Chain A
Amino acid sequence: MILRDVRRNKIKTGLIITLFFVFITLLVYFLSLFLFDSVYIAALIGIIFASVSAFVSYYNSDKMILHINGAREATREEFLQLNVSLEALCISAGLPLPRLYVMDTPALNAFATGRNPEHAVVCVTTGLLNKLDKYELEGVLAHELSHIKNYDILVSTIAIVMVGFVSIISDIFSRSLIYGSSRDNDNKAGAVLMLIGLVFIILSPIFATLLKLAISRNREYLADASAVQIARNKEGLINALQKLETENEPIEVNKATESLFIVNPLKGKEKDSLWSTHPSTSNRIERLQKIQ
């Protein structure tokens, strides 16, 4: 069951990286084509640029995500109970100990990121630590550990960083398209830039949709179920989800990273729709209560 999920997640990640690679290569190829006249040089630059950016995003994605959400390391001295709980749950899950981070905010939320269990991070908000008791906290941590165990973190982290990369470039281009069009540029260069800009404006929402498809909502149900298995206690997670639903407040997080969190950090309550990144909390609680 878990092995099948892991394989599927690795295939998805491979697809995302390939798409990203092809896309960036083509983009840089066309750009450099209009700077240099040789097709070979342009292709070479395109491939080198795409390889470097794919490589950097793959190995640094977790650091980027922690950085844009302003997380800091949770030391054993400062957060003893949190560290001890995570250590215990890791023994139960048979996972190496992930690095532990906190976000200083009164909101209740948590997420996991990284590329594999050996390079994983769990991050919780300080609000969560203040409002949840030990068992509820363990439920949330176990949920994050199951995302690590079945490699959900790999797909979502890579998707976020690579799609984010494309949307930043697309932003730059669409802006230069709007502001640049009034100026009287060299005709050839202007035409190429405009074409690339158009391609990006069309592709950017397609990429964003792809991101949501890559990260299926079903994985939240699966992670809830295996969290019960890891923590050997379902009341903790159920109570925690209830608190997360009723006592929560939105946090200022980067929009791209919203799908990583245990509950949607931007909105308070939501109903299931085709485009929501998370299943509704009441549906999740209902499914949890059906276990055994």
Chain B
Amino acid sequence: MKWLFLVIAIVIILIVILYNYLVRLNIRCKNAWSQIDNQLKRRADLIPNLVEVTKGYASYESKVLADVVNARNQANTMSDKAKNSEKVSEQLNKLLMLSENYPDLKANEIFKNLQIELTGTEDKIAFARQFYNDTVQHYNTAITVFPNNIMAKMMNYTEKEYFKVNDDEREVVKVEL
């Protein structure tokens, strides 16, 4: 009888430990995601300023960038968000590169600061994405192995999506020979 209690106690303790472990991993994923989200928001806040400053120089590119940023709100799945983010990055880089052709834009103090902030935000997004994907990989492995998978199923924990463009969704570039 005594032994039975002991076994039950140990099993309960193990379940509690496992539960806490999975909850902690889940929270870590959420935190990692909020880091990316913060930087995406920060970038979206900065871009209108950039559009304003560069309007007189590269009006077409500024307009395209503004449109791309507005399209951001329609994304729902993680890979859509990643795809969107990549598009914004691409357009943003184009606009920042254009400044090479306009010496007085390049010398503009506001533009210079925006350029530093925006390239920094791009770096931060890249680092945060790496951090998030590492965290998610850890989480996904943890909820798949036995016996965690039983626990995870009871807790309704499912695999999380990586923040990257899925390979099959990448547009195929046609090369004409």
Q: How far is the CA of A87 from the CA of B123 in the complex (A)?
A: 10
Q: Are A84 and B127 in contact (CB under 8 A)?
A: no
Q: CB distance B117 to A91 under 8 Å? A: no
In the complex, B154 has a CB within 8 A of chain A: no
Q: Please tell me the size bucket of the interface on A.
A: 10 to 19
Whether a CB of chain A sits under 8 angstroms from the CB of B116 is yes
Which B residues are in CB contact (< 8 Å) with A94?
A: 131
Residues of the A chain whose Cβ atoms lie less than 8 Å from the Cβ of B35? 91
Q: Please measure, in the bound complex, the distance between the C-alpha atom of A161 and the C-alpha atom of B130, giving whole angstroms.
A: 38
Per-position 1/0 for A102-116, Cβ under 8 A of B = 000000000000000
Whether a CB of chain B sits under 8 angstroms from the CB of A1 is no
Quote the shortest CB–CB distance from B4 to chain A (angstroms).
Answer: 38
A112 to chain B, nearest CB (A): 19
Q: Collect the chain B residues with CB atoms within 8 Å of residue A88's CB.
A: 120, 123-124, 127
Contact partner, B113, options A80, A85, A92, A232, Cβ 8 Å: A80
Is there an interface contact between B113 and A87, defined as CB atoms closer than 8 Å? no
Cross-chain contact B131 with A84 (CB below 8 angstroms)? no
Cα distance, A91 to B35, chains bound together (Å):
8
Residues of A within 8 A of B116 (CB): 80-81, 84
- Most chain B CB inside 10 Å of its own CB: which residue of A81, A89, A91, A94: A91
Residues in chain B near residue A80, CB distance under 8 A: 113, 116-117
Per DSSP, chain B at the interface is helix
Residue B136 lies at the interface, judged by CB distance under 8 Å to chain A: no
A-B pair count, CB < 8 Å, reads 31
CB distance from B108 to the nearest CB of A (A): 14
- One of B39, B117, B119, B131 near A92 (C-beta < 8 A): B131
Asked if B128 lies at the interface with its beta carbon under 8 angstroms from chain A, I say: yes
| Interchain CA distance A109-B173 in the complex, whole Å | 47
Cα–Cα distance between A232 and B120 once the two chains are bound (Å): 15
CA distance A7 to B14 in the complex (A): 27
Encode contact with A along B111-138: 1 for CB under 8 Å, 0 otherwise: 0010011011001100110110000000
Give A50-84 as 1s and 0s: 1 = Cβ < 8 Å from B's Cβ atoms. 00000000000000000000000000000011001
A81 contact set on B, CB distance < 8 A: 116, 120
Query: Are the C-beta atoms of B130 and A87 separated by less than 8 Å?
Result: no
Which of A80, A84, A87, A232 neighbours the largest number of chain B CB atoms within 10 Å of its CB?
A: A84
Within 8 A of A (CB), among B80-128: 113, 116-117, 119-120, 123-124, 127-128
- Residues of B bordering A, CB below 8 Å: 35, 39, 113, 116-117, 119-120, 123-124, 127-128, 130-131
17 other A-B residue contacts (CB within 8 Å) besides A87-B120, A88-B123, A92-B130: A80-B113, A81-B120, A84-B119, A84-B120, A84-B123, A85-B120, A85-B123, A87-B124, A88-B120, A88-B124, A88-B127, A89-B127, A91-B35, A91-B131, A92-B131, A232-B127, A232-B130
